[in-house]
Amino acid sequence: MNEVRHRTIETNGIRMHVAEQGEGPLVVLCHGFPESWYSWRHQLRALAEAGFHAVAPDMRGYGRTDAPAEIDKYTLLHLVGDMVGLLDALGEKTAAIAGHDWGAPVAWHAALLRPDRFRGEIGLSVPFLPRGSNRPTTMMPQDDDAVFYQLYFQEPGVAEAELERDPLLTIRAGLYGASGEASRRREPGEPVGMVPRKSGFLRGLTSPPPLPSWLSDEDATYYAEEFKRTGFRGGLNWYRNIDRNWELLAPFAGLKVTVPALYVAGDRDLVVAFRGVDKLLPGLPKFVPELRGAIMLPGCGHWTQQERPGEVNAAMIDFLRGLP
């Protein structure tokens, strides 16, 4: 089986770096924050060996892909447009699309808005969330002592200053902190996703615990070197468009994801905890009528495809093989 290939393509007005492996039906893999194409390293080979052409881009603002300076160039419409342009650049009419963390809303909305181009969708960690009636940031918790992390990310320069002080510490602390291993140490009833106003996102951490078995020092260093070079602003700008996305998606309120879909998450994922996903899942088929399954992985934290590559690969391949 050939190795991972790298190239740069033109899409939606930017230059995008992609990693790809295999030949066959196209599967696009969208990463989240704070990651890169590298978060799909275990899936690229598995999908290629199963007969698919797997393509994992550095998403807009990350890695070797362009990072526009303007905050409003990171809306979901831009991000879905990037994926449509990726298909065009590869000469493909259709593809299946998968997304994890922030990549999941991109994948869900690609399937929602362009079912003619995206024939199947796999969401990891974040389920499809219908547009609500209120601006998202107005619903996020905060008090005198702490603020929800997505609110902490809103003001340009604040989170950048903290996260860029030591990118390796940021990566080690961040990936460990949202893992299944860290959740075992979390106190019952401890607030999830809250940032202490006095100590910041990393909570003054200077020496995180040893990395879990699924994340090597080499893996952490790869991520850290990318962010050391690019900074975190591109990824943080996705969060700064949460309310703008809500405004732009108003014409599509109530629209359903009509293509076949799969949802996979860990039962120790912080997203499952603070979004109450366990309560949302029973109603998910109302908005995703072709949902083929909702898999909850015991003991798995937020980094689904990295923490449980074997189980995720098997679920993805089984789903993809069942697409029309």
Of the residues 31, 78, 109, 302, only one is catalytic, namely 302
Angle (nearest 5°) at CA 95 between 93 and 281: 140
Nearest in space to 232 (alpha carbons), one of 152, 147, 124, 156: 156
Contact between residue 110 and residue 87 where contact means Cβ atoms under 8 Å apart: no
Catalogue the long-range contacts made by 205-211 (C-beta closer than 8 Å, 24 or more residues apart): 205/169, 205/173, 206/169, 208/169, 208/172, 208/173, 208/176, 208/177, 209/176, 209/181, 209/182, 211/172, 211/175, 211/176
Of the residues 58, 66, 101, 269, only one is catalytic, namely 101
Cis previous bond, 260, omega within 30: no
Q: Which two tokens stand for residue 164?
A: 């860029």
Helices and strands counted in the chain (H then E): 15, 10
Q: Which residues pair with 100 in a beta bridge?
A: 124
Kindly report the backbone phi and psi dihedral angles of residue 31, in degrees, each rounded to the nearest multiple of 5, phi listed first: -85, 175
101 is catalytic: yes
Nearest in space to 35 (alpha carbons), one of 200, 218, 232: 232
Provide the 3-class DSSP secondary structure of residue 284.
Answer: helix
- Catalytic residue list: 101, 302
